[in-house]
Amino acid sequence: SPNVYMVYEDNGEIYFSSSTNNGTTWSPEIRLSEGEGNNHFPSIAINEIPNLAVTWERHDISNQRIWIIFKMYRSGLWQSTKKYYNFQSTVFNCPATPVVTSLGPTNYGAPDAHSWLFVWRNCPAHKLEYMKTNYEGDFYDYGQVPGSTGSGNASNPTIGSGIEFHLGYNKIYIAFNFWYYIRTVALIWNGSSWNWGSTHDLYYASSGKPQASADGAHFVHFSWQAGYGSYTNGTYLVHQKVNTAN
């Protein structure tokens, strides 16, 4: 498809723009946040309809809260902004960096078809949390990402696109920094419900935020910046792929 969608932060506000010709030209920007400032770290996802989901965090400095914000494009219109979840934080340099992906289409029988999965970092609690919403954006499930608690100080979550689920390979992979590792865990559809798989650590002495992407050909690809030596007296880029059909 020649359609490209982009969200970005500018001066504490979140903006959206799109292209219908592979990025040659772009539509006028649309402000998605509400003009109150202190909005950061936007993430965007698309499903097969296509609807769009955008999430970001807002720092409520006066009340010492971090809010997880969600806005959806559905039926040709941007829907009202939803504030889903907040936690107390006096350390705003420890961001939640929320991310979002689609939870799959109707033709694979998922009861939550066209819905969304969100993951973010709860820094004060030293863990990652997740939330699911239905296709209208209403919250229906919340919990803790397995393997993300404890002294490892989980951070920088990323989600492999839900495209593999769309193709019938029923796993959505999450990767995050944990201690000096890149840790991964899959959310797996077993035909009647979603369940978490086992965690796997990909590499030691990682130092950069991981990225995850599905290629539509059975694989999810992970990449990150790593260091070696006693700390990081050298850095390099690492790539590893996982066969989602296994």
Give the pLDDT of residue 242. Answer: 82
Which residue(s) pair with 182 in the sheet?
Answer: 177
pLDDT tens per residue, range 124-152: 888 999 998 887 888 888 999 999 998 76
Ranges of the chain with pLDDT below 50: 106-109, 111, 166, 230
pLDDT at 73: 94
Would you state the pLDDT for residue 192? 75
- Distance in angstroms (rounded) separating the CA atoms of residues 56 and 33: 9
Task: Answer for the pair 206, 245: CB distance below 8 angstroms, yes or no.
Answer: no
pLDDT of residue 87: 76
Strand partners, 127: 122
Euclidean distance between CA atoms 132 and 40, whole angstroms: 21
Are the C-beta atoms of 200 and 189 separated by less than 8 Å? no
Determine the Cα–Cα distance for residues 53 and 43; give it in Å rounded to an integer: 8
Q: 51: which strand partners?
A: none
| The pTM of the whole model exceeds 0.85 | yes
Residue 82: its pLDDT value, please?
Answer: 92
